Amino acid sequence: MKQILKRLGLLAATLLLVTVLAFVAFSILPGDPTNSILGLNATPEQTAALRERLGLDLPLWQRYLNWLGGLLTGQLGQSYLYEMPVSQLLGSRVAVTATLTAMSFGLIVAISLPLGILAARHAGGWIDRVVSVLGQVTMSIPNFLLGFLLTCLFSLILRWFTVGSFSAAAEQGLGAYLGYLFFPALSIALPRAAMTVKLLRGAILGEMGQDYIRTAYSRGNSKGRVLWRFALRNAMIPVITFLAMTVADVVAGSLVVEQVFAVQGIGQMLVSSINSRDYPVVQAIVALIAVVVVASNFAADALYRVMDPRLRQR
Amino acid sequence: MLLEVERLRVELHTRRGSVTAVEDFSLALEQGEAVGLVGESGSGKTVTAHALMGLLPRERAEVTGRAVFDGADLLAMDRAQLRQVQGRQLSIVFQEPMTSLNPTMRIGRQVEDALRVHTGLDAGARRQRALEAMALAGLPEPEGLYRCYPHQLSGGMRQRVMIAAALVLRPRLLIADEPTTALDVTIQAQILDTLRRINRQEGTAILLISHDLGVVRALCGRVVVMRQGVIVEQGRVEDIFHRPQQAYTRQLLEARPSWGKGKEGQGHG
C-alpha cells in the first residue's frame, strides 16, 4: 500500500513537471498569439487590449498557476483562435486519436504475440526466417512512409477505402469509422509489431536456455508445454516493459500518421495550433499525452509486479 | 538389475568440431543401490547423467551404446517414450539449486509438475502428494512453503525442493548431479543424510555424481572413477578410499581439504 502511494506521488510529480515544461517551452517560443489573431497591421492599442483580454499581460508564473488551477477543476481554458472552450474543441478529436491509438496498440499485440511465439517455437526453421526477413523490412520503414505505401496499395490500387473520406466514413457509422482507421492503425502498428516479435522471440529463446527449462524437460514435459507453461511467462516480462514504452510511440505515431491519412484527430489540431500560437490548445494536448504516457508506464510497472514475484517484496 | 549401461559413447558437436565427451562407459546398478560417480570437472560425469536422462539435444549430441533401464533401452527410445520415463521412473536433481527452479512459479506447483505431466490427479490429490514429497525431502512445514516462490528460500531449501519434485512420483532411480556442491558444508551433510534416508526408506536407487570422494563415501557402497570421459577405476568405496589403485584417484583424494593435515585452500569451490 505504501508502495503504491509512493508511486502515485511520483506519478503526480512527473505530470506536474511535464506541465511546467510544456507551459514554459511554448511561452518562450518566438511569436505572439495576438499577431496571428489580429494580423500584422494591428495597432499597439488593439494588441494591448487583446493581451489583457487573453490574460497574456500577467507574469508567466501567474498564468501557469491559473492554467493549472483550471486543469484541476476540468477547465482547459479558451482557445485564442476559435474563441471556444478547448475541451469542446478537442472532444471529438481526442476520441478519434484515442481510437486510433487503441487500435494500433491492439494490432501490435495481436500481430506480435503469435508471430513471436511461432518464430521461437520453430527457431532456425523457414517460418522463423520468413518472419525475421519481413520484420527487418517493416522495421526499417518509418510509419509515415508505410502510411503512404498502404494508401497507395489499399486506396489507389485495391480501392478498399478512399483516402481523405474520413469525415464521410465517420458519419456512416461505427463500422465504416473503424474500417477507415484500420489502415492508419496498421501503418503505426507494423514497425512496432516487428520490433516486438523480434524481442519476444529473443526473450523466449533466452528463457529456453535457462536451467529451470532443463528441469522442466527432466520431468517429462514436452517442448510445447515447456514453452507455454514455463518459458512464455518469464519471457513476457521484458516484452511488457517494451509494450508500455511503445504506447508513447504509438501516440506520437498517431499524430504523424493522421496527417498522411487525413484523419481529424488531435495531431492535426496540434500542428495548426502551434502554427497559430494557440497556446491553450497546445498545452492541453501536451498535458493529455503526458498523462497517457505516464499512466501506461505506471500500468506496466504494476503488471511487472504481478508477473514477477521477485519484485513484489521490495 | 535396474540399470545396465553398456559401452555408452557421447560425442558432442560444437562449432569448433566434435568432442568425444564419454567413451566406453559401462555401469550396472541394482534395485535400491547407491552408486557414486566421481571425477574432476570435465571428466564427463554430468554429460553421462544428461545422456541417461535424455537431456542432451539430439542435434548437438550423438549418443550411442545401450542403457537398459527397467527392461527398456533409454537410448533407443523416441522422445515420446522417453517422456513417459522422465520424472516418473527416472528423475534427476541438478547441481544448481539457485537456477534450476522457475523463478515465477510457486514451490508447490513446481513440486507437482511431474504429477501434472504423468497423472490425472485432481488439484487436492496433487497437493497431498506434493506435501508428502516435501516432507520426505526434509522440508519443514511444507504447507507454508507450498505457496512460496524460490527466491524466498535458501540454497539448501531450494535443493530440497528439487529433491521433493524429483521424488514426487517415487522414481526407481534418482540421479543426483553434484547435489551439494553449491551448498555450505553443514547443509551438504544434511542433504546427504536426506538422500541416504530416501535410499534406505524408499528403496530409491541413487546415482550420485560428485567430484568429492568423501561425499560419495557418505552415501554409496560402490564408486566409479572417471577421467577424460573414460572409467579409470571402480569398486567398493571403502577399498578405493583407502587403497586407490590409480594415481588419478589418489590425486582426487588428496585434493580434498583434510582436517588432519593442516592444509588449506586445496579444496574445490
Together in a domain, A39 and A105: no
Question: Where among A44, A72, A100 does a domain terminate?
Answer: A72
User: What confidence category does residue B259 fall into, taking pLDDT thresholds of 50, 70 and 90?
Assistant: low
Per the structure, the complete domain to which residue A27 belongs is given by 2-72
- Which residues of B lie inside 8 Å of A (Cβ-Cβ)? 53, 55, 79, 83-88, 91-92, 94, 96, 99-105, 113-114, 117-118, 149, 151, 162, 165
Separation between Cα atoms, residue B207 and residue B201, nearest integer Å = 16
A82 domain residue, yes or no: no
Tell if the CB–CB gap between B117 and A309 is shorter than 8 Å: no
Tell if the CB–CB gap between A307 and B104 is shorter than 8 Å: yes
Taking 50 as the pLDDT cut, the residues of chain A under it are 314
A196 by Cβ neighbours in 10 Å (0-12 / 13-18 / 19+) ranks as buried
Average pLDDT over chain A, rounded to whole? 87
The per-residue pLDDT for B268 is: 44
| Per-residue pLDDT tens digits for B27-71 | 999 999 999 999 988 899 999 999 999 999 888 899 999 999 999
Together in a domain, A117 and A170: yes
The torsion angles phi and psi of B7, rounded to 5 degrees, stand at 50, 45
Tell if the CB–CB gap between B101 and A219 is shorter than 8 Å: no
Tell if the CB–CB gap between A218 and B113 is shorter than 8 Å: no
- Concatenate the DSSP letters of all residues of chain A into one string: -HHHHHHHHHHHHHHHHHHHHHHHHHHHSSS-HHHHHH-TT--HHHHHHHHHHHTTTS-HHHHHHHHHHHHHTT---B-TTT-SBHHHHHHHHHHHHHHHHHHHHHHHHHHHHHHHHHHHHTTTSHHHHHHHHHHHHHHTS-HHHHHHHHIIIIIIIS-SS-TT-HHHHHHT-HHHHHHHHHHHHHHHHHHHHHHHHHHHHHHHHHHHTSHHHHHHHHTT--HHHIIIIIIHHHHHHHHHHHHHHHHHHHHHHHHHHHHHTT--SHHHHHHHHHHTT-HHHHHHHHHHHHHHHHHHHHHHHHHHHHH-GGGT--
Q: Judge whether residue B151 has pLDDT over 60.
A: yes
The per-residue pLDDT for B257 is: 63
Together in a domain, A92 and A65: no
Separation between Cα atoms, residue B127 and residue B136, nearest integer Å = 14
Q: What percent of chain B has pLDDT over 90?
A: 76
Q: Sheet containing B34-38: which strands, arranged edge to edge?
A: B90-93, B173-177, B205-210, B34-38, B222-227, B230-236
Lowest mean pLDDT across A55-64, A221-230, B104-113, B184-193: A55-64
A79 domain residue, yes or no: no
Together in a domain, A141 and A22: no
Separation between Cα atoms, residue B135 and residue A74, nearest integer Å = 61
Q: Least CA distance to A215: which residue of chain B?
A: B100
Cα B183–Cα B55–Cα B210 angle in degrees, nearest 5: 35
Together in a domain, A116 and A154: yes
Together in a domain, A145 and A219: yes
A155 by Cβ neighbours in 10 Å (0-12 / 13-18 / 19+) ranks as middle
* Short-list A24, A5, A228, A258, CA closest to A113: A228
Which residues face A246 on adjacent strands? Answer: none
Q: Judge whether residue B241 has pLDDT over 60.
A: yes
Together in a domain, A142 and A244: yes
The per-residue pLDDT for B263 is: 43
Span B233-239, average pLDDT = 90
Number of structural domains, chain A? 2
A77 domain residue, yes or no: no
A29 domain residue, yes or no: yes
A63 domain residue, yes or no: yes
Q: Judge whether residue B265 has pLDDT over 60.
A: no
